[in-house]
């Protein structure tokens, strides 16, 4: 039997980014001049989805249609380079290309080639067997005709009753076929499919999602960008899954990232709610990492929160604001911590918390600490209105993290003097100022732990 794997089926595109510098307008028209653009190419559409799955270490195959042209050859090579097995059903026409013109990473315009839906060949027995034995199937529809093909719809109808199928729809694409597990339209697509006005409110999203659920006969998960996702069945309360961080970045490919994570999670045996929660986390990390552009010519970085903190510091400094940082383990957040963090935030225009990793806390506090893992400690800190970003560090003290973001002010809580601060030398290098903010009297993690032991 064919090895079980995630199968992505849909329209693959060749994505190109032309990224250059803009510092002037053309003399003959009020349009920006992009100087010396660097060209980056990567798989797009269903090809991006399959590439993301391969990067996750998932055994993935892509069923798609490539044209017999230079773009098709380049796309096939890029997919092979990323470890994606391709089942090419053949495309009688031009391989679709999507070209973005960027200035210092910011999109200016997009040019598409191969927009018309050309002829697509029949599914082979090998392709049918691949779908039959999949652990999960992701239908990545980009409106180019593959998901409307009779053979494809018949094969998916046979697969759906016994295999998790996630359908990522497109306004110009086909409707889901068979008992699909989950459809993942974004808010704009939801409005298109229901021919209704959909606002950001939960009630509006739920009503439209339920309407689409009844029309398609599938569970609908609406992806809502930085607000996370909403899942609605025909009746009952909707599930709202917010992100664990504010993802402000290039959202290109975020929907593919979401759909891949949901399909892979369902294929691994997760229930629907677990799969959606994992998909929101994956899409958030993806946007924080720079979106689809970060996948070009290199593997996407393993994202913690440093890139977010660093970008925030650069943005605030660039507009003339004051960057404030503080550090600590924050293992058992108490009122003293909160008061100190609030006071630190009032010293500038943003507050970045440098958080000791689990390994760092164990070295400093002993083998029975931390009480909470780093992900939970970071999540609690991010939940405070006074905290703008959290940056994990592995060393005993945060000098390297400070050197990377160079805050104007470094605030410490407790009984420190300037001479006691191990970070002082690093701060002096760029003129950063250290300040000490007192905790509330009688509040400390040590005292709380001693009190808890006393009461046992």
From its phi and psi, is residue 374 left (phi > 0), alpha (psi between -120 and 50) or beta?
A: alpha
Contact assessment for residue 124 and residue 90, using Cβ atoms and an 8 Å cutoff = no
Say whether 256 is catalytic.
yes
Q: How far apart (Å, rounded) are the C-alpha atoms in residues 425 and 422? A: 7
Q: How far apart (Å, rounded) are the C-alpha atoms in residues 164 and 8? A: 12
Q: How far apart (Å, rounded) are the C-alpha atoms in residues 136 and 8? A: 9
| SS (HEC) of 24-57 | CECCCCCCECCEEEEEEEEEEEHHHHHHHHHHCC
98 pairs with which residues across the strands?
Answer: 15, 112
Query: What's the CA angle centered on 272, arms 226 and 168, to 5 degrees?
Result: 60
Q: How far apart (Å, rounded) are the C-alpha atoms in residues 169 and 176? A: 8
Q: How far apart (Å, rounded) are the C-alpha atoms in residues 5 and 202? A: 35
Contact assessment for residue 201 and residue 183, using Cβ atoms and an 8 Å cutoff = no
Distance set, CA 174 to CA 140, 141, 264 (Å): 11, 8, 22
The beta strands (E) that lie in 118-237 are given as 119-120, 136-140, 165-168, 182-183, 219-223, 229-232
Query: What's the CA angle centered on 142, arms 141 and 147, to 5 degrees?
Result: 40
Catalytic residue among 88, 244, 256, 388: 256
Q: How far apart (Å, rounded) are the C-alpha atoms in residues 312 and 314? A: 5
DSSP state of 105: T
| Cis status, amide bond into 370, omega within 30 of 0 | yes
Q: How far apart (Å, rounded) are the C-alpha atoms in residues 296 and 38? A: 12
Query: What's the CA angle centered on 206, arms 201 and 208, to 5 degrees?
Result: 100
Active-site residues, by number, are 256
């Amino acid at each position: 039997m064919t090895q079980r794997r995630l199968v992505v089926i849909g329209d693959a595109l060749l994505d190109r980014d032309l990224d250059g510098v803009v510092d002037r307008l053309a003399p003959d028209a009020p349009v920006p001049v992009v100087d010396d653009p660097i060209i980056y190419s990567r798989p797009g559409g269903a090809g991006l989805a399959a590439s993301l799955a391969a990067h996750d270490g998932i055994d993935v195959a892509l069923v798609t249609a490539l044209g017999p042209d230079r773009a098709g050859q380049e796309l096939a090579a890029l997919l092979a380079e990323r470890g994606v097995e391709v089942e090419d059903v053949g495309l009688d026409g031009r391989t679709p290309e999507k070209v973005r013109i960027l200035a210092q990473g910011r999109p200016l315009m997009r040019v598409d080639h191969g927009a018309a839906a050309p002829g697509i060949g029949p599914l082979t027995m090998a392709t049918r067997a691949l779908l039959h034995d999949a652990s999960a199937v992701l239908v990545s529809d980009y409106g180019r005709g593959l998901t409307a093909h009779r053979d494809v719809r018949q094969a998916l109808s046979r697969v759906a009753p016994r295999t998790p199928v996630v359908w990522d729809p497109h306004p110009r694409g086909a409707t889901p076929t068979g008992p699909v597990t989950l459809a993942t339209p974004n808010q704009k697509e939801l409005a298109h499919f229901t021919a209704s006005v959909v606002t950001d409110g939960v009630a509006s999203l739920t009503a439209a999602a339920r309407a689409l659920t009844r029309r398609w006969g599938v569970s609908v998960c609406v992806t809502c960008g930085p607000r996370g996702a909403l899942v609605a069945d025909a009746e009952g309360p909707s599930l709202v899954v917010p992100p664990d961080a504010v993802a402000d970045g290039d959202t290109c490919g975020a929907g593919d990232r979401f759909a891949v994570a949901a399909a892979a999670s369902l294929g691994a045996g997760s229930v629907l709610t677990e799969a959606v929660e994992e998909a929101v986390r994956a899409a958030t990390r993806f946007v924080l990492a720079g979106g689809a552009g970060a996948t070009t010519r290199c593997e996407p970085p393993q994202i913690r929160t440093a890139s977010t903190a660093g970008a925030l510091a650069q943005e605030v400094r660039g507009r003339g604001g004051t960057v404030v940082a503080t550090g600590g383990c924050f293992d058992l957040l108490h009122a003293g911590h909160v008061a100190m963090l609030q006071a630190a935030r009032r010293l500038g225009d943003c507050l970045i918390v440098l958080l000791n990793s689990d390994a760092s806390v164990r070295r400093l506090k002993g083998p029975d600490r931390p009480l909470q893992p780093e992900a939970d400690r970071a999540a609690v800190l991010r939940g405070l209105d006074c905290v703008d970003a959290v940056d994990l560090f592995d060393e005993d003290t945060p000098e390297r993290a400070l050197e990377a973001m160079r805050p104007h002010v470094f605030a410490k809580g407790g009984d420190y003097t300037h001479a006691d601060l191990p970070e002082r030398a690093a701060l002096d290098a760029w003129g950063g100022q250290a300040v000490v903010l007192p905790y509330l009297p009688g509040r400390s993690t040590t005292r709380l732990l001693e009190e808890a032991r006393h009461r046992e």
